[in-house]
Amino acid sequence: MKKHNFFAGPGILPGPVYEQAKQAIDDFAGMGVSILSVSHRSAEFSAVMEKARTLVKELMNLDDDFEVLFLQGGASMQFLQIPYNLMHKKAAYLDTGAWASKAIKESRYFGETVVVASSANEQYSYIPKGYPVPEDADYLHVTTNNTIYGTQMFDFPETEVPLVADMSSDIFSRKLDFNRFGLIYAGAQKNMGPAGTVLVAVRKSLLGKTGRRIPTMLDYETHIAKGSMFNTPPVFAVYVSMLTLEWVKAKGGVEAMEKINREKSRLLYKELDRNPLFNTKVRKEDRSMMNVTFDLTDESLRPEFDRMWKEAGIIGLKGHRSVGGYRASLYNALPLESVKTLVEVMQELEKKA
């Protein structure tokens, strides 16, 4: 049976990407060796790295001030690498969930950290709006999509302070003016590739202003100078990310991704609003297109619902361990058919109840 993969991360990737990656495990670029064994200094892999970086700039329409890096340590490493490289005296943060809170914690090791607003008072069920941003902040950090709680930012503050954005779970899923940002980062494993690499797009003009000495491996300028090849990069993760970026481009880019993602999320939210057996705590204006969180209104129905969705070939539907309930992750590669299957199960449960 075909599985309908709603895992939040590592998440589903496009079918053609799996096929290309499998081929490269046997024979990469006609070299007669596996992508898992090829030298990262080979011309063949150097071309992969360069193409991946170029595709990021193309799909996001980034201007010439941006440098694109594929690094290691995941988004969690960026929580400290960002203030290390960008904070001179003060940074501002918007607290919209667990990952934003972790970033705030790391920032406090480097200097004054101002939390401009938080939705913790309502279990992160909304995105704060209308908050002031300190004009003397070195940057404002936001998390564009909150995987655990199912909220997403659709508007960004108008400010002269550089915007830094964690886009780990909605990167390449919708059209934005990416040039509004000073730094964008995203763990690959939710919407771009396998676990093992993190994408960083940073404005060169923001670097070298902190007045501190930065350890070599944590200095963005180190990796910019070496084209993301200062040390051995995560070869396979970068290769699969490149394949996924090619797939996004072939499908029509981020505009095309947004169109289908809106269709998928509308279908599921429509059922959640209609079906009395389900609810979602997220405010309507802040509902994520990528991660739909919901729960049953009658706890006694949980065993039956769990049995039904598993029998339908659905996997990865359980919510994050910290909040419980259910979570359907609708990443770019998830077909509309999978969402329709989930909605049919929800409707069937209603008939039985």
Half-sphere exposure of 291 (CA within 13 A, CB side): 32
State the DSSP H helix or E strand holding residue 310, giving kind and residue range, or none if neither.
helix 302-311
Shared domain for 186 and 275, answered yes or no, is no
Give the domain-ending residue among 250, 282, 314.
250
Q: Which domain holds residue 180?
A: 15-250
Question: Given the structure tokens 């880019």, which residue do they identify?
Answer: 253
- Mean of per-residue pLDDT scores for the chain: 97
Q: What is the pLDDT of residue 353?
A: 86
Question: How confident is the model over 18-48, as pLDDT tens digits?
Answer: 999 999 999 999 999 999 999 999 999 999 9
CATH number at residue 281: 3.90.1150.10
Q: What are the residues facing 91 on neighbouring strands?
A: 113
Residues (pLDDT < 70) of the chain are: 1
Q: Are residues 282 and 243 in the same domain?
A: no
Residue 229 counted as domain residue? yes
Instruction: Output the pLDDT for position 309.
Output: 98
Distance CA 298, CA 301 (A): 6
| Separation CA 168–CA 241 (nearest Å) | 13
Cis peptide before 234 (omega within 30 of 0): no
DSSP string, 34-69: -TTTS-TTSHHHHHHHHHHHHHHHHHHT--TTEEEE
State whether 227 and 279 are in the same domain: no
- 202 plus 257 within the same structural domain: no
Q: Tell me if 160 sits within 8 A of 139, measured CB to CB.
A: no
Q: Can you tell me which residue has the tokens 């396979």?
A: 236
Q: Where among 226, 250, 274 does a domain terminate?
A: 250
Within a domain: residue 6? Answer: no
Same structural domain, 244 and 259: no
Indicate whether 239 and 302 sit together in one domain.
no
Task: Indicate if the alpha-carbon torsion angle 28, 33, 34, 40 is positive or negative.
Answer: negative
Residue 27 lies in a domain: yes
Name the residues annotated as catalytic: 99, 166, 190
Rounded Cα distance between 193 and 352, Å, is 39
- Claim to verify: residue 77 and residue 223 sit in the same structural domain: yes
Does some domain include residue 185? yes
The answer to whether residue 89 sits within a structural domain is: yes
Structure tokens at 70: 């594929």
> What's the pLDDT score for residue 1?
62
Q: How many domains does the chain have?
A: 2
